[in-house]
Every structure is written in C-alpha cells, then in structure tokens.
C-alpha cells in the first residue's frame, strides 16, 4: 500500500523537467550551430584544395584567343598538368620558389600564366615554343625550328558551320610541326606582328601566342617569354558561355544569351 501511494502521489518535477528540456534544446541548438560551422569550414577547405591543386575556374574577358575562346566563356584550368608553383596558390602566396611535380607543356597547349611584368594578372594564350626552340613569324606564318606551321583557309560554309562571325578577318586551321591542330584568326598578313624574329626561347621559358593573331599581346610584344614558374595550368574544358547580350537584371532573357552549344566543349 505504501509503495502504491508513493507511485501515485502528486509529481513535483514538471518544472524541473521543463528546465531540463530547455537546457537540452539549448545544447542541441548549440550543437547544430557548431555542426553547421564545421560543415562550412570543411566545404571551404575542400573548395580551396580543389582550386589550388586540381582545377580552377576562369572566364575570358578579351578577344585575344578567338576563335578558340570567346568573350563570356568560362573554363576549368587543370592545375595538375604542369605541377605547382606559388602562382598555383591563392593570391600567389610566395611560400616556395620554382615548381614541384613539374611537367612541361606541349606545343599547342592553351595555358593560363601570370603576366611576367607584374606576376599577378592572369593571361591565357597558346604555347607554341618550348625552351630552345627557334621561333619566327614570316608574313603571318609561324615557323618553329625553321618548319612552317601549315595553314588551311576555312571556306564561308565551314565558318558558318562553326557558328562564328569573323568581321574583317579570316579563319585558318593551323597545324604545328608536332601535329597539334587548332583554329586561328588573321585580319591579313601585313600587320606589325606578322613579321617577328627569329629568336631562341631561353631555357626555363615558353613562347605564347594568341589565336587572334592580329589582336593579341603575347610573347611577340609586351608579354615576352613566359617563365616556367609563371604557369598556372592548362585550359581543359568549357563549363559555361554567354554572349553578353542579356543585362544581369533582365533575368527572363538570360537563356537567350547562353551559348548552350559551347558548354562541355574540350579546348583544343
């Protein structure tokens, strides 16, 4: 009887239980906040790691690489391709000199590099000369070690099939001596940079040219030879492209500005 009376006596604990519940909810709220913060930190570290050691996104602001790359293209650059230098790090932090795990570019690679004059601005051009190569341009024709890069003029129908408008210029397929083939654009073959060299590419440096040959600041002028330490990575694939015809605030017109046909294209 005493036991039964004890079990059924009025409970004096509801207030204590409410306080305990509030404490648990507070602890759970704090735990959830810490878990969210932890997730954000991990996500940021993963993003920084991928950007530093694997792939970094870039966009194209100028026409110097047309017709290969157009203004409004967004691409992934492989950091794995050429190894790592301080220019692979966020903000170009000078934590070490030279390169580690270095693999030399091939002639024909489209590469991003730090502008040698300030070591900060990112440029994108095509590597056409390796250390020790003799580079010359004669009447618009590129010569590498005295071997002319073959040019094939595209017909109007071929240009139309590419969906690329070339006012005031011509499109060619250029084939480098190593067999790499890509598109270039020429206004004509009598522009100031259509005759250059010959010069030997110094050791530890590369010669870079824009595919828009008459509208590119590259190793023929201003940029000069690109030190191997300045290489950031190889441009591999387009992940987005727009033609700039849609203002940012007219969101309903965005789809009409997207170049869907370029998304996912490999960069050659």
| Cα–Cα dist 157/212, whole Å | 20
**Which of these, 146, 151, 149, 150, lies nearest to 135 by C-alpha position?**
146
Report the SS3 class of residue 207: strand
**Which of these, 66, 88, 64, 69, lies nearest to 78 by C-alpha position?**
88
CA torsion angle 251 252 258 261 (round to 10): 150
231 contacts 116 by C-beta, under 8 angstroms: no
Strands 122-129 and 205-209: antiparallel
Q: Give me Rg for the CA atoms of the chain.
A: 29
Q: Across-strand partners of 125?
A: 111
Q: The dihedral of CA 59, 118, 89, 228: what is its sign?
A: positive
Q: Across-strand partners of 235?
A: 77
Is residue 78 part of the annotated active site? The answer reads no
Q: 79, 85, 88, 125: which is the annotated catalytic residue?
A: 125
68 contacts 44 by C-beta, under 8 angstroms: no
| Cα–Cα dist 230/91, whole Å | 13
Backbone dihedral angles phi then psi of residue 107, each to the nearest 5 degrees = -60, 130
Is residue 17 part of the annotated active site? The answer reads no
Question: What residues are annotated to the active site?
Answer: 64, 125
């Amino acid at each position: 009887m005493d036991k039964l009376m004890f079990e059924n006596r009025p409970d004096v604990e509801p207030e204590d239980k409410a306080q305990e519940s509030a404490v648990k909810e507070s602890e759970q709220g704090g735990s959830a906040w810490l878990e969210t913060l932890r997730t954000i930190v991990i996500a940021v570290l993963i993003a920084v790691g991928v950007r530093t050691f694997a792939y970094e996104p870039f966009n194209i602001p100028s026409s110097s690489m047309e017709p290969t790359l157009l203004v409004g293209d967004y691409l992934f650059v492989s950091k794995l391709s050429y190894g790592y230098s301080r220019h692979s790090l966020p903000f170009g932090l000078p934590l070490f000199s030279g390169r580690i795990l270095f693999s030399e570019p091939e002639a024909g690679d489209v590469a991003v590099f730090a502008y040698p004059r300030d070591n900060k601005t990112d440029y994108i051009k095509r590597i056409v000369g390796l250390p020790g190569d003799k580079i010359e341009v004669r009447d618009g024709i590129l010569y590498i070690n005295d071997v002319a890069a073959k040019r094939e003029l595209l017909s109007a129908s071929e240009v139309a099939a590419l969906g690329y408008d070339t006012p005031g210029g011509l499109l060619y397929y250029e084939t480098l001596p190593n067999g790499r083939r890509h598109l270039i654009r020429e206004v004509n073959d009598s522009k100031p940079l259509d005759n250059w060299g010959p010069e030997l590419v110094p050791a530890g440096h590369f010669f870079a040219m824009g595919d828009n040959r008459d509208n590119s600041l590259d190793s023929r002028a201003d940029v000069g030879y690109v030190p191997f330490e300045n290489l950031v990575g190889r441009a591999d694939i387009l992940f987005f492209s727009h033609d700039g015809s849609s203002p940012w605030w007219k969101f309903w017109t965005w789809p009409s500005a997207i170049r869907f046909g370029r998304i996912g294209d490999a960069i050659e």
